[in-house]
Structure 1
Amino acid sequence: MPLPKHPRAVITGAASGLGRALAVELAGRQAKLLLADLNEEGSRETARLVASAGGEAHAVRCDVSRSDEVAALVGEADRALGGVDLVVNNAGVSAGGQVGETPLEDWAWVMGVNLWGVIHGCHAFAPRFKEQRSGHFLNIASAAGFLSIPGAASYCVTKAGVVALSETLRLELAPYGAGVTVLCPTFFKTQIVESGRGFDQATREAARKLMGRKGVQADYVARQAIEAVDAGRLYAVPHRDGRWMWRVKRALPELLQDVVMPRLTRKVH
């Protein structure tokens, strides 16, 4: 079912990028938001933007790789918002490097934020959604969840895991009237590569070019994501190139793997 008229939402990774765009998008509905991020100053700036757009926001520090800190968000949401209608598991990081070369410490870092962070969020709030027989998860994955990108295995693995988790959780929550949407965008402007580990300068420059496309930036992605939540859709694939590759993946997976992706990745590298 659609979100309430004035939704109460928890957003992780809310200090910048898509998290901030989602917060501002929800502020247009006079939402009450709990903004969770390690970057406290960034979260406070997001809160100011939310207030300017007509919403209400409370910023808290949270490391999503720590289950206890994510679990504490349930009580924080009750205290600050009076409950929760939407949980956005958005916090994400990235690391470059091929399998066998990427340091295991980088693997653990990416897994801790991108996958365990979403697991922690779902684990903490799923019982509440079952109890109240309502609520929705918006889990932020990526087109990398169904595409293979050489040199980004850790990122692809985590995003594929988020897709699988979201599909499973949707089935588990359906009898309780709660829902799940998984967002799978392609490229738009964020700091995820700039702040990532293990990327060489050429890769960073290629990413900047891909992220610079007009008309499909964070505000567009946020709007498409919330529309998908309102419609109760499981998959939200906002970019045209992502939808095209997703359809090829489903219909002709080996063609995508053996022909399309090698050509595309040669252009990037």
Structure 2
Amino acid sequence: MRKIAVVTGGVSGIGKAICQELIARHIFVIIADIQDHEGRVLEAELNKDIANVKFVHLNVTDYKNVTSVIHDVFEEFHRIDYLFNNAGIAMYGEMGEMTIEDWKEIMAINLWGVIYGTQIGYPLMKKQGFGHIVNTSSAAGLGPSPFSTAYATTKHAVIGLTTSLHYEAEEFGIKVSTLCPTFVDTPIFDNAKAIHMDKSIITKQLKQQKMISPQRIAKMAIEGVHQNKPIICPMPMRKTLDVVFTIFPFLHKALMRMVCKVSRNARLT
């Protein structure tokens, strides 16, 4: 019987690449996204030769919508093998210039979207006795990220949720992992919300970093899932973070101060 995966935010970026990688491994994918037109186009593209995917509208901030989508998938296919809670946004700005509405916006998508998906999918996987939940965090969730404080907050929380549930879920045959991408060449940078900052300067700085393709991070994600890793992160970055933060704290401080300086140069007057 063909395995079934649900991927939120599956129309673009890492989500789209994960969908394509899953299809290559003969897994049927439910592409769940708020972008209806783009989703229908992708559905037609990926179903060109054989039925590989089904697109469904999903707003991850709407608990009833998330409940309906996941339960409908379970009722139709009688199983959910993989649930990728991947949808997310980026946001730049000094915390002192953010509003509570800014916080609510990013928390609703990046954190509550993951909580909703996990909270709804987990009992169904307990019922069937198997399944793997994969929550997308970020390397920003593994350490400080000045001028992306709200974004980092959500990603730290996702790591805490996922790594804790990783062990809690073992008894029920369920696996849980968090994906922590680094600099991936996706639209998230262009679509990010910048608060009193010149986003073009920030984007230019970010894209000077060595970018990983969405396809490469998707392959890493699926390989990490098969190995049941609690945290899936490009190893060079993970090792670098461990070394800088733990062994050379003075380098860590210098790096964070440099990030602050560069970011303040992007502030709008």
TM-score under structure 2 normalisation? 0.89
8 Å contact from structure 2 (residues 224, 232) kept in 1: yes
Aligned to 2:256: 261
User: Quick one: structure 1 residues 96 and 267, their matched pair in 2 at CA, closer, same or farther if it must change by over 3 Å?
Assistant: closer
Is 1:13 equivalent to 2:9 in the alignment?
yes
Aligned to 1:178: 174
User: Quick one: structure 1 residues 187 and 14, their matched pair in 2 at CA, closer, same or farther if it must change by over 3 Å?
Assistant: same
The alpha carbon displacement at 1:260 in A equals: 3.4
- List gaps (5 residues or longer) in structure 1: none
User: Quick one: structure 1 residues 132 and 103, their matched pair in 2 at CA, closer, same or farther if it must change by over 3 Å?
Assistant: same
In structure 2, what residue type is equivalent to 1:62?
L
The alpha carbon displacement at 1:266 in A equals: 4.8
In structure 2, what residue type is equivalent to 1:260?
L
User: Quick one: structure 1 residues 11 and 247, their matched pair in 2 at CA, closer, same or farther if it must change by over 3 Å?
Assistant: farther
- Alignment match of 2:137 (pick from 127, 136, 141): 141
8 Å contact from structure 1 (residues 185, 242) kept in 2: no
- List gaps (5 residues or longer) in structure 2: none
| Separation in structure 2 between the aligned mates of residue 75 and residue 158 of structure 1, nearest angstrom | 26
The alpha carbon displacement at 1:193 in A equals: 2.1
After superposition, where does 1:116-265 map in structure 2 within 5 Å? 116-198=112-194, 199-200=197-198, 201-210=200-209, 213=211, 216-238=212-234, 240-249=236-245, 251-252=246-247, 254-255=249-250, 257-263=252-258
1:143-198: per-residue Cα shift (whole Å, max 9, x none)? 00012121110100000000000011112101011111111111011111211212
In structure 2, what residue type is equivalent to 1:226?
I
What's the Cα RMSD here?
Answer: 2.2
| Separation in structure 1 between the aligned mates of residue 46 and residue 80 of structure 2, nearest angstrom | 17
8 Å contact from structure 1 (residues 185, 239) kept in 2: no
The alpha carbon displacement at 1:53 in A equals: 7.8
Aligned to 1:60: 56
| Separation in structure 1 between the aligned mates of residue 143 and residue 52 of structure 2, nearest angstrom | 37
| Separation in structure 2 between the aligned mates of residue 239 and residue 220 of structure 1, nearest angstrom | 13
Is 1:71 equivalent to 2:70 in the alignment?
no
User: Quick one: structure 1 residues 53 and 233, their matched pair in 2 at CA, closer, same or farther if it must change by over 3 Å?
Assistant: farther
8 Å contact from structure 1 (residues 8, 33) kept in 2: yes
User: Quick one: structure 1 residues 228 and 265, their matched pair in 2 at CA, closer, same or farther if it must change by over 3 Å?
Assistant: farther
In structure 2, what residue type is equivalent to 1:206?
Q
| Separation in structure 2 between the aligned mates of residue 223 and residue 55 of structure 1, nearest angstrom | 22
8 Å contact from structure 1 (residues 18, 219) kept in 2: yes
8 Å contact from structure 1 (residues 149, 265) kept in 2: no
8 Å contact from structure 1 (residues 67, 120) kept in 2: yes
8 Å contact from structure 2 (residues 244, 252) kept in 1: no
The 3-state SS of whatever aligns with 2:178 is: strand
Please say which of residues 252-261 and 129-138 is displaced more in the overlay: 252-261
Identity of aligned residues (%): 28
Is 1:23 equivalent to 2:22 in the alignment?
no
8 Å contact from structure 2 (residues 85, 133) kept in 1: yes
The alpha carbon displacement at 1:267 in A equals: 5.8
Aligned to 1:94: 90
Please say which of residues 157-166 and 27-36 is displaced more in the overlay: 27-36
8 Å contact from structure 1 (residues 34, 81) kept in 2: no
The 3-state SS of whatever aligns with 1:232 is: coil
The alpha carbon displacement at 1:204 in A equals: 2.2
Please say which of residues 116-125 and 32-41 is displaced more in the overlay: 32-41
Aligned to 2:104: 108
Larger radius of gyration: 2
| Separation in structure 1 between the aligned mates of residue 152 and residue 259 of structure 2, nearest angstrom | 16
Q: Report the count of equivalent residues.
A: 261
8 Å contact from structure 2 (residues 146, 256) kept in 1: no
| Separation in structure 2 between the aligned mates of residue 17 and residue 97 of structure 1, nearest angstrom | 23
The alpha carbon displacement at 1:59 in A equals: 0.8
